Structure 1
């Protein structure tokens, strides 16, 4: 059995969502405040662990509380609910007999709705009205004038802030999967049947007999010093684990005798428990330690053998074979916090797992463990080691494997964890553009519906470079290494508010960038594409067909191959290799954008935005045509930025010109500055520039940039060495960054007096 789907309504940001869960492990990812933690908290609260607060209701519903208290016609008290859909094996049907909607039920899916609803809305209103009356009477002035202040509760929202759990309760319902569509949307007239508690089992007891939910929270307080009350050292954590589980084995005389009389047996036992994890950490280095191994040094007093003072964790120094059975050791606080945090999580998981397995009478069929941000205090290698081993830690054995199952949900901001697991387990939490709500997307569906070639390319590329795409507020797709190096500086100059956002910068190139279109659109990201005009001599290049080799569809442009072996020299040797008449007019040859009949070789511009081929058409594109608006399922908001004509001035001459690449565009818009001797390290200075007219100088810059001796990376690094206020960001990039800034950074708005204060829900 496993939890297959989770439907959540009106809980914080999760206004109305359905989450598909994998049978083994699901990974919740998304930007901050997208609702990942809320999903776990919802399951925790609806299964009876913890108390609801008024802030657990979606913020959009808060005015409804006020309206109901004021007696507005048609107003009702809001409710919250969660639908739990379980996939049941044939051997377990007898355990879910209470959840079968009818004798005609077929299939493997059973569902239960748990709703948090008002016990008696009219009685609640009456109690609020009376409390409000008494509060006003207490502050009323004797002279009949208005009260000095408006006392609490000022409205129903205020009243329920303190008394919510007295006025609301959990109710349980049986769901009929036949009345739900594939996306788990119920029929319009469907009303679930209330689960009436029997003499033997209530709705809560039925739920608890099927599923046990445990949480390993991110707030772990390991400490190397005595610290405050919340600090713990690793030895105490391990002692607590054994104390809990030994209490359940107090009748096992063999175990007690071994613990009391054999320190060696205890050491062997602990080493065996952690051996799989420690083996994966064997290659990690720690200052002053080699191949760290856990050892237990216990007192011989049986009464205190596993107390926090009777047993301590030590780290053995050196190799076991070299040091023998009694090597030199150091106490646990001499090792790194990351390693201790890993062991802490493993011990906690083993503890939760052991407590579930220790239930002998009516053990729940499913153990669901939520692990919140396991990357806390773990460096990259340890994060990968943990996520690789977590399912092994919870592996069932023997008869338990036939009748029970474990399931894991991990919430994370770690790209290293995604690297280990790939697309299929990812559940992407996307913040809605309107209101405090989120949507949840299953990357397994993207995986299944995307052609294998495109899917493999995206998965391998992201695993190698940019798994952080799933945590970003927006994505910026750039042409190459130069743009990637310069973009942070350009952001600081042109759109400084973007520095407070989480941008994922993908270096994709014009040839491959369009292959990111399916993923960007599926995720619904806001994205800026910064690419090059890449003008070449016509005729137009053919389209790239999905799955075909990119190189076969593109013209060969020999001039654009960077040769890093030769240093740039300030002469025209590399600029004059195409002076013969017609030599530079071959089809597919790089050319100035102003050449009549020029086309683009950039597949991003041809196949994604703005879907134009000729340079003339690209110049004619309006600002609106450079934007792909939102609209339709999973559609992203995307804008493209590429070079277009701007005013270029040299001496007394001004022309409307465009650069073919970033380097050319930068040189044209900073022409006098680039030609100064102080900027010769950029490689854009042309000898004798002062004696050349504007057209000739532009042509020389074009040949210099596409020449084999021009080093683009050196240009970028050289530019970073100059003061940023000395040069201007190319207009096409500045406009794109300003657009992105306006889309993803919060707008400053004056605070409105009065009303409800709406906090951003988690």
Structure 2
């Protein structure tokens, strides 16, 4: 049995997403603020914590108005409560399980019909009003009282015989008495207005609307219920959005959580609080200060749960208990001897008297407590010459924070595993408790404080640690599923790409939702259809460390010179783009188009900087010329863009023709060499560059005439210094580029003190400007400013 998928609806930024689970490790990737943490919180809240974990802020903002519309109706008439009004408004989580034939008895409450033949079952965790009529009535009373108070405040004293006081009033809510406190008001007689103001104006009093009312009584009036889902209605996502099924109107909730005995959830959050052993760490979920994050405390807790001989002792523990008892007896005798003088002195003060109780000092030796001190965990140092300095140790707080985090996380994974399997002492008090068949472990951003190599070790070994037990290694009766959220390309690099789930940020208005949301894309479905393309993309991304999955935008460049120099152009000339997370990939014009299926699936705004590569129909590459029927030999322009391959058409193409549009947030812009006007001493003519290097030279003739360097740099300097004819210079530059190192050429440029004065090639600068404008628009729209142009 395993979790096949979950569908999250109306929870924070996740308006409607489907998250497919891998059989072992599922990795959540995506740019910052894309919803990865929200997905983990949703799993924890629905499956582990229950209604106490929720508040009105967990409701997707786009649903607030619909909830307030219900409240507006109740403000007029609280008796109007129509069945189905709340369907699809509040947060819900659908969990889909794959069940083997011999496990059917475990999911009997979830079998939808007698015709069910096995395979998939589903259950919905849904927030709903506990008692809709009671909610309507109590909201109506609170809202009506508030409106009366506002009306009284606006009236002059002589015309306001009745106002409202802020006295606390108790209202019966079901079987619970709820005190609305100073915010709830009731009518009282008075001769004076409560407030006066120079001008009548609106007051901000609770509750303004139903959402405001629920901000205080969310958990009082809402409840988490569970419903059986129909596997026949399990549908694949549409436009990357989950197709969440509607429940029949007559659906009855289950009596209790059907997954309580099926799924055990453990989690490691990002705020692990390790550091100086003398510091106390704050619990991320409660905000309380605790030292439970220290390694010594974790070791002690593990010992208490699984190893302590004093807990449910067996024959193997008797020797250890005897040793502790002898040590305690000897220590007590020493204590009695040590305190005798002090107690005798106290007796001289007539205390204790004849009838007073006598003082006794006794010890209590505990192995678990002995592990809680600062030096319980330390790290041995090694000396030089092969000699171990066995008496020299560093306390845990003085070891590297990265290693502390790695040790802590691995140890917690071991503790999770052993608690799940009731290992050691934990087995005896739980001997009658069954083991849940699914162990779901959630890890948030394990890369925090870990350097690259340690991140990779954790990614490769975490699942193995969770399965390293004789009852798990080669057996399938018990399932472990690990879900990791990360911003680390190194962790993504180490795991199979079929395990990656990409969270994409959506701007307000996408998919008909008027606030920013996110959706989820299975990366393994985004590589394209041909085997060659899939193989190339996977191997290429492994070389590039998968930065693509965390980027705000992509720039694909032709060669090493562009890879080195374009980032500097961005820094000095495009500040808004410089502040964004832009990933640059050097891939070349002959292979860039192979990334198209992946980029189209992830829908990341992309600038493709490539070369024109002019050639004749049946000849080699040649300098760019007009009117001679040249075509582009660049596979990226031919196979990815919608442009004609004819060079004359490419040179005249307007900006819009170079953009391949996706949706409102996604497009690909192609940038290649275009005509520039160049002055060489006395002549000014049109130049037609065909590579990045000659385009850069024609834009910066004076710079290259004085640029120091050898090889290709010297050839360019000599050509631009001696030539006075633009066409002749273009031909010679093209010929020079057939030999020489372009990387050395770029390094010579970077070393120049005048680099910041350079003008980027026009075609690149135009492309960067386009990408910068898209980033600025995306920043506004993803933050909810739908009026952004």
TM-score by length of 2: 0.77
Separation in structure 2 between the aligned mates of residue 111 and residue 395 of structure 1, nearest angstrom: 26
Give the match for residue 378 of structure 1: 450
Tell me if structure 2 keeps the 8 A contact 1:250–1:256: no
Separation in structure 1 between the aligned mates of residue 261 and residue 232 of structure 2, nearest angstrom: 24
Structure 1, residues 62-119: CA drift from partner, whole Å, max 9, x if none? 2223322222999955212111001112221111111101111013111101111122
Tell me if structure 2 keeps the 8 A contact 1:494–1:729: no
Separation in structure 2 between the aligned mates of residue 432 and residue 591 of structure 1, nearest angstrom: 44
Offset at residue 513 of structure 1 (A): 1.1
Offset at residue 715 of structure 1 (A): 3.1
Separation in structure 2 between the aligned mates of residue 187 and residue 376 of structure 1, nearest angstrom: 35
Give the match for residue 668 of structure 2: 638
Separation in structure 2 between the aligned mates of residue 658 and residue 128 of structure 1, nearest angstrom: 73
Tell me if structure 2 keeps the 8 A contact 1:217–1:371: yes
Structure 1, residues 207-250: CA drift from partner, whole Å, max 9, x if none? 20111122110111011241245364322232223223347981
Counterparts in 2 of 1:133 and 1:720: CA distance versus 1, 3 Å: farther
Give the match for residue 340 of structure 1: 404
Give the match for residue 329 of structure 1: 393
Q: Which of 466, 477, 480 matches 1:403?
A: 477
Give the match for residue 543 of structure 1: none
Give the match for residue 744 of structure 1: 775
Give the match for residue 21 of structure 1: 21
Tell me if structure 1 keeps the 8 A contact 2:101–2:118: no
1:432-511 equivalent positions in 2, closer than 5 A: 432-433=506-507, 434=510, 435-446=515-526, 450-511=529-590
Offset at residue 325 of structure 1 (A): 12
Counterparts in 2 of 1:515 and 1:308: CA distance versus 1, 3 Å: same
Separation in structure 2 between the aligned mates of residue 521 and residue 676 of structure 1, nearest angstrom: 44
Q: What is the SS of the residue equivalent to 1:686? A: helix
Aligned residues: 663
Give the match for residue 30 of structure 1: 30
Answering whether residue 597 of structure 2 is matched by residue 531 of structure 1, we say: no
Separation in structure 2 between the aligned mates of residue 332 and residue 748 of structure 1, nearest angstrom: 43
Structure 1, residues 327-385: CA drift from partner, whole Å, max 9, x if none? 64333233211111111001211222222222541332211001111111111111111
Give the match for residue 608 of structure 1: 640
Q: What is the SS of the residue equivalent to 1:364? A: coil
Give the match for residue 317 of structure 1: 381
Counterparts in 2 of 1:241 and 1:481: CA distance versus 1, 3 Å: same
Answer with 356-365 or 55-64: which moved more. 356-365
Give the match for residue 497 of structure 2: 423
Separation in structure 1 between the aligned mates of residue 667 and residue 746 of structure 2, nearest angstrom: 32
Answer with 124-133 or 385-394: which moved more. 124-133
TM-score by length of 1: 0.80
Give the match for residue 670 of structure 1: 700
Structure 1, residues 298-327: CA drift from partner, whole Å, max 9, x if none? x99445554402971122333999668966
Q: What is the SS of the residue equivalent to 1:685? A: helix
Answer with 491-500 or 310-319: which moved more. 310-319
Answering whether residue 269 of structure 2 is matched by residue 217 of structure 1, we say: yes
Q: Which of 87, 91, 103 matches 2:102?
A: 91
Answer with 427-436 or 670-679: which moved more. 670-679
Separation in structure 2 between the aligned mates of residue 257 and residue 720 of structure 1, nearest angstrom: 75
Offset at residue 189 of structure 1 (A): 7.1
Offset at residue 719 of structure 1 (A): 3.6
Answering whether residue 313 of structure 2 is matched by residue 252 of structure 1, we say: yes
Separation in structure 1 between the aligned mates of residue 306 and residue 275 of structure 2, nearest angstrom: 24
Tell me if structure 1 keeps the 8 A contact 2:55–2:215: yes
Answering whether residue 746 of structure 2 is matched by residue 693 of structure 1, we say: no
Separation in structure 2 between the aligned mates of residue 700 and residue 497 of structure 1, nearest angstrom: 38
Separation in structure 1 between the aligned mates of residue 318 and residue 523 of structure 2, nearest angstrom: 52
Answer with 467-476 or 236-245: which moved more. 236-245
Give the match for residue 626 of structure 1: 658
Offset at residue 160 of structure 1 (A): 1.3
Separation in structure 2 between the aligned mates of residue 677 and residue 343 of structure 1, nearest angstrom: 53
Tell me if structure 1 keeps the 8 A contact 2:749–2:755: no
Offset at residue 629 of structure 1 (A): 0.8
Counterparts in 2 of 1:700 and 1:189: CA distance versus 1, 3 Å: closer
Answering whether residue 615 of structure 2 is matched by residue 522 of structure 1, we say: no
Separation in structure 2 between the aligned mates of residue 606 and residue 757 of structure 1, nearest angstrom: 37
Give the match for residue 237 of structure 1: 298
Q: What is the SS of the residue equivalent to 2:376? A: strand
Q: What is the SS of the residue equivalent to 1:209? A: coil
Structure 1 or 2, whichever has the larger Rg, is 2
Give the match for residue 556 of structure 1: none
Separation in structure 1 between the aligned mates of residue 366 and residue 547 of structure 2, nearest angstrom: 51
5+ residue gaps, structure 1, are 264-298, 541-586
Separation in structure 1 between the aligned mates of residue 368 and residue 776 of structure 2, nearest angstrom: 58
Separation in structure 2 between the aligned mates of residue 395 and residue 654 of structure 1, nearest angstrom: 73
1:97-136 equivalent positions in 2, closer than 5 A: 97-136=108-147
Give the match for residue 726 of structure 1: 757
Counterparts in 2 of 1:438 and 1:259: CA distance versus 1, 3 Å: farther
